[in-house]
Chain A
């Protein structure tokens, strides 16, 4: 599904990713952990096509196709979804208009007709239920005045609406209390299929109790320095990252 080969990326003169290699197959869940400033969020942004970062070397192959020159919307149409660490507030644009514009464009790209208002509302209701969001959220401006937990639930709701093949969830657990964490994680798990994949970026082991990864990668100074199975999370929880960095 995703093959990242020797990926280098910079912001301005500063190199942040310094040779990332990653292979994600359909059906897998990968976790990327690492100390602050190791490049985790940069990796997520680069995969989603954020213009702030320049890819200076390497390849990103998604479903066998090099996506380095695709725009963010083209990557979205191809089935890539980024769950934001800090979801953006958009005053004046309602959640329903926002997601409707997104779904309509996705359908257009697939050659499907626009959903009727009734069909769309039914779909929205169904997907909002996955993250226990009530209908009052649809009329509110995107993320404006949402609590931390509500913002993250809104991310997973959008993911449910767009049904991506590759979801990259950037610190989806940050700012969540235990209940919100459970709701978000359950939502993500319900969307798992043998033909899609999830990359979870996190600081903490606790999210991985709910979303159980097949692989855990440790990112440090822009490189993956260690890869292991799910048991690594507990080891990191106990011993921190130093033993891996100093290895």
Chain B
């Protein structure tokens, strides 16, 4: 097994970690610990040659009042697998997860997320979106676990997929395991195709079918890219995404 790389975030100014940018690894085993009151943003970019196989594992714990935003942008790689374990262990901890995956050719991308609310009054949200073309495959397994005494939990999860070919295949398995009774939780998953009414509307205004489809795809992934608060980083990620659409 690969060595575990540790990040310990203490209270104080918010910190940002870029994984998979230039020389930092996009895969491997990572342990992230957020101390009480710590705030961190982690971006994971997975944009590898289409023969590469990537396995990433994240074990994350958040203490009281800690706040984490983590965004995955998986653009290319023969087989990308992300396993994410997040435990909210102190009250008022907050975790926002975003994910974007754009497999093409024969690429396979998967996310396996377990987000566990161990204590009361924590917040979590998950938004994963994928666009699949050619013969690509994706799989999203997402579990929200709410412990028996984790009252006043708020936990949301969404996974939406857009299939651009008849041979692409997206699997979505959202799951809730809730043992507390005073919680706000929701989950939803969809697998669909480009909206024909939108396409005709755009084309009726002179926008080519190709450009219309790009606009629709950008609109689809925009929600995740908008989570990136640093505008320079958002622009560069958007530009990378655009080359894949």
Contact = CB atoms under 8 A, between A and B. Distances in A.
Interface stretch (A32-40, A92-100, A119-127): A92-100
B201 A87 contact: yes
Contacts of B215: 90, 93, 97-98, 101
Interface string A68-109: 000111011100011010011011110001110110011001
A10 to B, nearest CB: 18
A77 B219 contact: no
Q: How large is the interface on A (under 10, 10 to 19, 20 to 34, 35 or more residues)?
A: 20 to 34
Contacts of A71: 203, 209
Contacts of B207: 73, 98, 101-102, 105
B202 A76 contact: no
B218 interface: yes
B223 interface: yes
Given A101-B211, A105-B211, A73 B206 contact: yes
A145 to B, nearest CB: 15
The interface centre, meaning the residue of A73, A75, A84, A87 with most chain B CB atoms within 10 A of its CB, is A73
Nearest to A103: B206
A109 B206 CA distance: 9
Interface in B103-118: none
Interface in A150-186: 158, 162
Main secondary structure of the interface of B (DSSP, over half): helix
A144 to B, nearest CB: 10
A48 interface: yes
A50 interface: yes
A76 B201 contact: no
A139 interface: no
B32 to A, nearest CB: 31
A79 to B, nearest CB: 10
B204 interface: yes
A91 B204 contact: no
B16 interface: no
A158 B205 contact: yes
Interface in B174-233: 197-198, 200-209, 211, 215-216, 218-220, 222-223
A138 B133 CA distance: 32
A82 B204 contact: yes
A76 B198 contact: no
Contacts of A73: 203-204, 206-209
A93 B207 CA distance: 13
A88 B208 CA distance: 17
A151 to B, nearest CB: 12
A51 B200 contact: yes
The interface centre, meaning the residue of A72, A77, A98 with most chain B CB atoms within 10 A of its CB, is A72
A90 B206 contact: no
A162 B206 contact: yes
A106 B206 contact: yes
Nearest to B222: A92
The interface centre, meaning the residue of B202, B204, B208 with most chain A CB atoms within 10 A of its CB, is B204
B200 A72 contact: yes
B199 to A, nearest CB: 9
B219 A91 contact: yes
B202 A90 contact: yes
A92 B203 contact: no
A49 B200 CA distance: 9
A73 B203 CA distance: 5
Contacts of A98: 202, 205, 207, 215
A97 B218 CA distance: 11
A73 B121 CA distance: 53
Given A93-B219, A105-B211, A162 B204 contact: no
A133 B243 CA distance: 35
B219 A92 contact: yes
A63 to B, nearest CB: 16
A72 B218 contact: no
Given A76-B206, A102-B202, A106-B206, 4 more contacts: A72-B203, A92-B222, A93-B215, A98-B202
Query: What 5 A-B pairs come out closest when comparing CB atoms?
Result: A92-B219, A76-B206, A88-B201, A72-B203, A102-B205
Interface of A: 48-51, 71-73, 75-77, 81-82, 84, 87-88, 90-93, 97-99, 101-102, 105-106, 109, 141, 158, 162
